[in-house]
Structure 1
């Protein structure tokens, strides 16, 4: 990165105010994601809707999935999945993409991850807002249970933060880890209840909903957004347990190998 740009970043990103620094980084990251495209922020709205329509046509008319409000059913699953996929891919590259900040600005080691996750959470919140805005057209009504979306979103963000801490270190030592992660994401995409009824997953793989935190978050968020139901508390407890255990493991790995990882870049 040119020195002039680094100096510019050093000038405008505060070193003493951590919250302000994180917010500036997150806001800048979010703007760059969409402002560099032709459609800009409109793409953040169109992308999940286009994918929803494609999958809705395939699964409704070709594979005969018979689920009420199937388009919204898919949309609610894609909201979680697209966030998880994008956020972990970005998290995996944090040390490379923000190396100039770590080298030129006095900042907490976790600030890069926090700002990256915050920028993707803005996108997640935008998609949920779109879902809620169009819900009345599909006869979806809400109760106070919709408030459960906040702890569920936090659970998802903590899980992504933890996984990113582990992946970014692995990516510094194993250059093929991004390709391995893409293959893993592809497999996870098809075994999560994005397109299939929850009952089908429970009956075929009864333990999957409890050993796969993404599946639990998808089901619980869908219950809150579509069915005005409280989440499955057992499933939610497992999801938080996985996120917190992975967070502890991720922080231990990251703190121990951060400097070696930076040397490998």
Structure 2
């Protein structure tokens, strides 16, 4: 409760950091904030060519199936990659003034989350123009699964940002982990394409249940499986608590390590 109260007192700093992150990301580029939409579109184009024409995934409206999973994955990936160095990159600020260090991963994840919500606009445009339409009842679950993913991602970001202060190589190692993690998540293939004797391993992946929920809502136009939501919620809350505990314990030594 003390941590939450302190974070509330520094809410203006969090908003300022989010604003700076959003504005500074593409500050020197010509197209600026348009890259928020262009990056996933370029990814979509490349993966669609590879898996629709060359490798032939055999999924109907593959571009739509891919985009539904790719947008939330990009949010998760960007948060973990950026969050790993969010404390280290603010070394001068941390040494000069006091503020709750937890505002750094919160600002990092929230700015990436806003980017995801903006990019989701393109997803809805694709859905409408594809002629598949939407299920309004299912769509009501979108904010819920987005919140669950935010909670889970924030927990992972707190863990990675705190541990990177003590193990700097972790920031680079995470790049390898995220690449493998992406291919172990049913974004470019359906989970039922995985051999049945190995499927349980893929279901242990926390992002499997989250991505599956997005696919249920936006691609299959159905209410997410209740068990999937429960699994995603429990995992999300567990990682948020674990990340908070580890971050609070390690932040006492941030200054001397930096």
> Alpha-carbon deviation of 1:262?
2.8
> In structure 2, which of residues 149, 155, 170 is the aligned counterpart of residue 156 of structure 1?
149
Gaps of 5+ in 2: 1-6
> In structure 2, which of residues 36, 52, 55 is the aligned counterpart of residue 60 of structure 1?
52
CA contact (8 A) 1:210 1:239 kept: no
How far apart are the structure 2 equivalents of 1:258 and 1:139? 51
TM-score, structure 2 as length reference: 0.90
User: Within the alignment, does 1:240 sit opposite 2:233 as a pair?
Assistant: yes
How far apart are the structure 1 equivalents of 2:175 and 2:151? 20
User: Within the alignment, does 1:259 sit opposite 2:252 as a pair?
Assistant: yes
> In structure 2, which of residues 67, 78, 84 is the aligned counterpart of residue 75 of structure 1?
67
> In structure 2, which of residues 110, 117, 120 is the aligned counterpart of residue 118 of structure 1?
110
How far apart are the structure 2 equivalents of 1:96 and 1:207? 37
TM-score, structure 1 as length reference: 0.88
CA contact (8 A) 2:64 2:126 kept: no
Greater shift in the superposed pair: 35-44 or 57-66: 35-44
> Residues 162-189 of structure 1: CA distance to partner in whole angstroms, max 9, x if unpaired?
1112112221221211122111111111
Partner of 1:127: 119
Gaps of 5+ in 1: 1-14
Partner of 1:165: 158
Greater shift in the superposed pair: 120-129 or 18-27: 18-27
* Aligned-residue RMSD, C-alpha: 1.9
Match of 2:25, SS state, is helix
